[in-house]
Amino acid sequence: MPASTSLSDFEQALRTHLAAAHHLARWLTRTQADAEDVLQEAVLRAFRSFDRLRPTSPRAWLLRIVRNCCYDLRKQSERDAEATFEEDALPLDAASPVLGVPVENPEARLLRMADAQVLEGALRDLAPEYREVFVLREIEGLAYKEIAEVAGVPIGTVMSRLSRARAQLRVLIVASQQKETA
Amino acid sequence: MTCAEANRLIGPWLDDELDVRSIVELEGHIARCPTCGQEKNELLALRETAREQLPRFDPPPGLEERFLRAVRKIAAPRSRPAHRWLREAGLMAAAACLAVTATVSLQRSVDPRDEIVDAHLRSLQAGHLTDVASSDQHTVKPWFQGKIDFGVPVSDFAAEGFPLVGGRLDMVAGRPVAALVYRRRQHLINVFVGPAAHRDQPLRSVSSRGYQLSSWAQGGLQYRLVTDVAAPEADQLVALLRAI
């Protein structure tokens, strides 16, 4: 019975990767309810194309669908806000805030002291295109190649987005801590 | 190696994405350059902080089962064709005309999508498209009043590239529904609106016989959209309708 084989294969893939999918959806939507709505739609969409595609990397494939569903939701809710993403035109080294500052390195210490709230706030402030690469790399531990598949961009773009995500996060965290201590 | 080059490679190095030769060069540079050493420390600090501090959003209990149930539900009709074939064969042996009736009704119950596509095709025949032809939502909306027992939200999306063409009464699944007609360039889009069994239902989109179908419920109304325009454009109109 091909139908039931594909169903059980799909169930297996879903059980294995639901935690990662849920995690990504929570980072790319605002509320738990939004995340669950998006996930349900993504899961059904994924199931419909599972037979046809038989993805070689079910994780990247499922995360890609989840990611696209999250962006669909964002497009709907921000239709008026018109928040289109543009790749940062700055060269990478100019985006890095630290070159040329004194050696003592207080920033690293500040970063280490950053509490959960500050870090989460900073990450939520990033453009989702930067947020997703950071979450996929640092928390999910995906390789660049897999991140490229999820985000639908070349590996070079993954590298530059990740670099900018890190640079922006550092600026945001340090700024918010300096505000606190001031 | 310059600092700018090193700076670009530190992230990939920490991510284990660098080739051996570059690693050797980079490590040599960092040993001599405190500024780049600092960059490395900061990136490491950021990573450790992220891994230790950021919340790990685990799926709530029951979510997996809920999704699996939803999947099994849409999987069920897929396994039916073989079943149907057997049943048809049996019926044909008994009485040919009964079998024909059974096939028709079984197909109906298996695939309501066909009915939506049929309704769309029917509407494209001359003179069937609209009962009230107007791009003015204030003309179309009141036209439905008294003809159906539910309110239909009507909006014109000409500014977004989906001008309203008009409306008509139609039948879907044996029930009278309001049909709103939109145009996308030379293509027509039918949106059937009727009372929903459940107040809200998430969006489902499929393609069938070359047509895009989307179905969802919101505010107690069931929406069914059918068109031959490409899926991304159909999705745009769906998004507009869902945002009313």
Write out pLDDT tens, residues B88-102. Answer: 555 555 544 444 444
Q: Which of A98, A110, A117, A164 to mutate to test the interface with B (most CBs of B within 10 A)?
A: A98
pLDDT band with cut points at 50, 70 and 90 for residue B223: very high
B54 and A123 Cβ atoms separated by less than 8 Å: yes
Say how many C-beta atoms besides its own lie within 10 A of residue B8's C-beta: 18
Structure tokens that stand for B30 in this block: 């960092």
For chain B, the average pLDDT equals 82
Q: Would you call B43 an interface residue with chain A, using a CB distance cutoff of 8 Å? A: yes
A92–B7: do the CB atoms touch at under 8 Å?
Answer: yes
**What integer pLDDT is reported at residue B106 of this predicted model?**
40
B29 φ, ψ to 5°? -65, -45
What's the whole-model pTM score? 0.56
Question: What are the tens digits of pLDDT across the range B106-141?
Answer: 443 435 777 888 888 888 876 678 888 888 888 888
Those residues whose C-beta lies under 8 Å from the C-beta of residue B46, and which sit 6 or more positions away, are: A111, A166, A169, A170, A173
Distances (CA, A) of B2 to A89, B7, B8, B22, B28: 21, 9, 10, 13, 11
* ipTM field: 0.81
A96–B7: do the CB atoms touch at under 8 Å?
Answer: yes
Three-state DSSP class for residue B213:
strand
B213 and B205 Cβ atoms separated by less than 8 Å: yes
A111–B79: do the CB atoms touch at under 8 Å?
Answer: no
Measured between alpha carbons, how far is A157 from A87 in angstroms, rounded to an integer?
Answer: 9
B85 and B195 Cβ atoms separated by less than 8 Å: no
B110 and B84 Cβ atoms separated by less than 8 Å: yes
Chain A and chain B share a number of CB contacts under 8 A equal to: 146
B71–A11: do the CB atoms touch at under 8 Å?
Answer: yes
